């Protein structure tokens, strides 16, 4: 895997694709800067080597034209603060202003160009737009794992204009290395916790994990489809009736592969999808008709925690309940705390997927996990075994 340390960057214009698609406050300031912080090791290395660093990123979903609310200018201000040095910002990504800004850049300086999605060629993967971006650099670094599953101009197509002069940044390299550590682990037993609302969105992941883990805990809304497939009564709980056979097939595959599937045995059920709803603990197979399961029950939590304690490698993708509501956060929080404690005792734990990451941050557990993926959809596709165009482009042209 070719990284920035394999490039000669001193005095060179290094074009770096980062993922600064960060949430903003109503006043336009950056609300959460974890994606900015993640890129700092890459940027500091390049600047310390005397490179001229030109950053590309997108923000939000503008309609292929400039929109003030999606400008990267506030991101530039946040980056300067975190980096501890002044940086340049240009209100274009291509064009005469961008050309002039790049031309004026000195060794050890950094320039952030405007949102690449202000241009229709970005999401189309337009070669001429990619070539115009490529003209800004002498080499290309992709450090945007969160967009690696998109074959866009700045994430994929641009690499072809840098044969022998492109590499992964530290974020991208760490994501690949840590996900591969789970998928190829020799540290057993290996456990995957797969939660969330829908079986349909996790079919490929569950199937691929069957050859790579010893245990799979299935939680959250998707567990009710498995219970219904076994003849259970799940009340008003979320359930994909058109995927009952899918659930049966996954259970059969687990048996065939010798993988132990762990499903909840009890739930905290509610008479309304609301934090103030009445609740009761009941068997997951016998949820009253007008009630819905919104969190793992105490017996389920205890059983799941025992599995966590015995694991050596762990992937967590998806919460075990509606953790956004305090009344139904207990299952996700307690299992998360058990993972954190096991990690401190030697477990390798990888947390990925938007809701799982949000949960560990909400409960103050992020610093106690081995690795938190910033990838979201990209990590899911990588886990599914799909070729990510942003990764493959670097491999092809490195």
User: How high is the pLDDT of residue 184?
Assistant: 85
CA distances from 322 to 45, 123, 192, 202 (A): 41, 34, 19, 18
> Mean pLDDT score of the chain, rounded to an integer?
95
The token pair at 198 is 């829908």
**What confidence category does residue 204 fall into, taking pLDDT thresholds of 50, 70 and 90?**
confident
**CB-CB contact of 118 with 64 (8 Å):** yes
Other C-beta atoms lying within 10 Å of the C-beta of residue 278: 10
Q: Which CATH class is domain 176-383?
A: alpha beta
* β pairing state of 190-194 and 215-218: parallel
Beta-strand pair 266-270/279-283: antiparallel
Q: Where are the domains of the chain?
A: 4-168, 176-383
Q: Dump pLDDT digits (tens) for 112-144.
A: 999 999 999 999 999 999 999 999 999 999 999
Q: Catalogue the active-site residues.
A: 35, 198, 354, 377
Matching fold, domains 4-168 and 176-383: yes
pLDDT at position 200, please?
A: 87
For residue range 15-32, what is the model confidence (pLDDT) as tens digits? Answer: 999 999 999 998 889 998
Q: What is the pLDDT of residues 269-311, one digit of tens each?
A: 999 999 999 999 999 999 999 999 999 999 999 999 999 999 9
For the ranges 162-171, 255-264, 326-335, 366-375, the lowest mean pLDDT is seen at 366-375
User: Which pLDDT tens digit goes with each residue over 217-237?
Assistant: 999 999 999 999 999 999 999
CA–CA dist 150, 145 (Å, integer): 10
Alpha carbon distance 166, 139 (integer Å): 6
Report the CATH fold assignment for 4-168. Answer: Rossmann fold (3.40.50)
Residues 6 or more apart whose Cβ sits within 8 Å of residue 380: 205, 317, 352, 353
- pLDDT tens, residue by residue, 348-391: 999 987 688 889 999 999 999 999 987 777 888 888 888 899 99
Q: Residues 350, 179: contact at Cβ < 8 Å?
A: yes
């Amino acid at each position: 895997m070719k990284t920035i340390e394999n490039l000669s960057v001193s005095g060179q214009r290094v074009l770096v694709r980062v993922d600064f698609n960060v949430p903003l406050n109503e006043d336009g300031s950056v609300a959460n800067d974890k994606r900015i912080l993640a890129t700092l090791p890459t940027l500091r290395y390049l600047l310390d080597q005397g490179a001229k660093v030109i950053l590309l990123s997108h923000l939000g979903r503008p309609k292929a034209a400039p929109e003030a609310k999606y400008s990267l200018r506030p991101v530039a201000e946040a980056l300067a603060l975190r980096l501890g040095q002044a940086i340049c910002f240009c209100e274009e990504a291509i064009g005469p202003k961008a050309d002039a800004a790049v031309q004026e850049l000195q060794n050890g300086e950094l320039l952030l160009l405007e949102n690449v999605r202000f241009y229709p060629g970005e999401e189309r993967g337009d070669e001429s737009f990619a070539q115009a971006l490529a003209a800004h650099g002498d080499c290309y670094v992709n450090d945007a794992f969160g967009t690696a599953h998109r074959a866009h101009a700045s994430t994929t197509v641009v690499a072809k204009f840098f044969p022998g002069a492109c590499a992964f940044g530290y974020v991208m390299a760490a994501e690949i290395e840590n996900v591969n550590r789970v998928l190829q682990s020799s540290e057993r037993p290996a456990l995957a916790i797969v939660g969330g609302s829908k079986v349909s969105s996790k079919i490929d992941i569950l199937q691929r994990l069957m050859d790579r883990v010893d245990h799979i805990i299935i939680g959250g809304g998707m567990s009710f489809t498995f219970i219904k497939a076994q003849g259970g009564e799940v009340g008003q709980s979320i359930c994909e009736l058109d995927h009952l056979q899918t659930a049966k097939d996954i259970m059969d595959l687990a048996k065939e592969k010798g993988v132990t599937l762990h499903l909840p045995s009890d739930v905290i059920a509610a008479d309304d999808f609301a934090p103030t709803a009445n609740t009761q603990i009941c068997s997951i197979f016998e949820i009253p008709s007008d009630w819905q399961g919104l969190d793992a029950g105490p017996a389920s939590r205890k059983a799941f925690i025992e599995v966590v304690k015995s694991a050596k490698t762990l992937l967590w993708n998806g919460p075990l309940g509606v953790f956004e509501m305090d009344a139904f956060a207990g299952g996700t929080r307690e299992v998360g705390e058990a993972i954190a404690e096991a990690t401190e005792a030697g477990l390798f734990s990888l947390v990925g997927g938007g809701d799982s990451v949000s949960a560990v941050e909400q409960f103050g557990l992020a610093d106690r996990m081995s690795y938190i993926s910033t990838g979201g959809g990209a990590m899911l596709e990588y886990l599914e075994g799909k070729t990510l165009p942003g990764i493959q482009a670097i491999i092809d042209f490195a």
